[in-house]
Amino acid sequence: MLTLCLLFSVVMYFSGLLSFCIKRKHLLLMLLSLELVVLGLYFNLYLFLMVFNFEFYFGMIFLTMSVCESALGLGILVSLIRTHGNDYFQTFNVLW
């Protein structure tokens, strides 16, 4: 059962990385795939802490930091949509 859960978390992580590489044109899809990567890492961390009978306090810190990261990403997404009108990376001019 543990190996099945570990395999599931590794598949989640790598599918998030694959979708991050494929969907690199839209910022919203990139943020969603990053959240899938973070979710896979959290599941791996939870399994690790459960197997070695550690406390789950570090998992709560990890969840807090990932929520702060996602709120920051959504704030950047909203500000980019307000200034440019869409979330395509092709419309952003890096030199300006």
Q: Check residue 90 and give its pLDDT.
A: 72
| Domain extent for 75 | 2-84
Instruction: Pick the range with the lowest mean pLDDT from 19-23, 30-34, 77-81.
Output: 77-81
Using alpha carbons, select from 86, 71, 2 the residue that is nearest to residue 38.
71
Number of compact structural domains in the chain = 1
At 74, the pLDDT band (50, 70, 90 cuts) reads very high
Q: Is the pLDDT of residue 61 over 90?
A: yes
Q: How far is CA 61 from CA 10, 44, 47, 54, 56, in A?
A: 21, 15, 16, 14, 9
pLDDT grade for 23, boundaries at 50, 70 and 90: confident
Flag whether 93 is in a domain. no
Q: What is the mean pLDDT of residues 23-33?
A: 89
For residues 24 and 88, the answer to whether their CB atoms sit within 8 Å is no
**Would you say residue 8 lies in a domain?**
yes
State how far the Cα of 6 lies from the Cα of 60, in Å rounded to an integer.
20
